[in-house]
């Protein structure tokens, strides 16, 4: 099962909404390709409208558990992913758990090997 990570938190609700739709599109694309996908933003964004916060300290416990159950982490490289506290933490947790990490751009292109090298050394 893929854990699909992406940046989300932003002071502008419009940016959060755009990020939500982008990760929904990618989750749907991967599912159409036969992948089993869990995307925390797809699950969590609607809950924010019911009073849950958008910050990593709240979501860390939930996301860590989902990551533990997934086979790999795929990072959707939306604008802001490098600066995202949550994405950085998800990458760190995946490494701690021995899970592979891949990177995919929003167009759905193949995993970005140059990004993996850039991030992983």
User: pLDDT by residue (tens digit) across 4-57?
Assistant: 999 988 899 899 899 999 999 999 999 999 999 999 999 888 888 898 888 888
What per-residue confidence (pLDDT) applies to 111?
Answer: 55
Measured in whole angstroms, the distance separating CA 33 from the mean position of its chain's CA atoms is 18
Residue 55 tokens, joined: 């910050």
Q: What is the pTM of this model?
A: 0.84
CA distance 28 to 42: 10
Asked whether 20 and 43 are in contact (CB, 8 A), the reply is no
Query: Residue 64 sits in a domain of what CATH number?
Result: 3.40.50.10400
In the chain, the number of structural domains is 1
Q: Which residues of 36-66 are buried (b: 16+ CB within 10 A; e: fewer)?
A: ebbbbbbebbeebeeeeebebeebeeebeeb
CA distance 18 to 43: 15
Say if residue 101's pLDDT is above 80. yes
Domain containing residue 106? 2-120
């Amino acid at each position: 099962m893929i854990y699909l990570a992406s940046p989300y938190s932003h002071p502008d609700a419009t940016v959060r909404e755009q990020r939500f739709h982008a990760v929904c599109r990618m989750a749907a694309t991967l599912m159409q390709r036969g992948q089993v996908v869990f995307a925390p933003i797809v699950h969590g964004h609607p809950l924010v409208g019911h009073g849950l916060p958008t910050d990593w300290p709240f979501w860390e416990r939930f996301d860590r558990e989902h990551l533990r159950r997934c086979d790999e982490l795929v990072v959707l490289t939306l604008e802001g992913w490098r600066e995202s506290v949550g994405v950085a933490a998800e990458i760190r947790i995946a490494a701690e758990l021995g899970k592979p990490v891949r990177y995919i751009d929003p167009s759905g292109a193949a995993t970005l090997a140059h990004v993996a090298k850039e991030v992983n050394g």
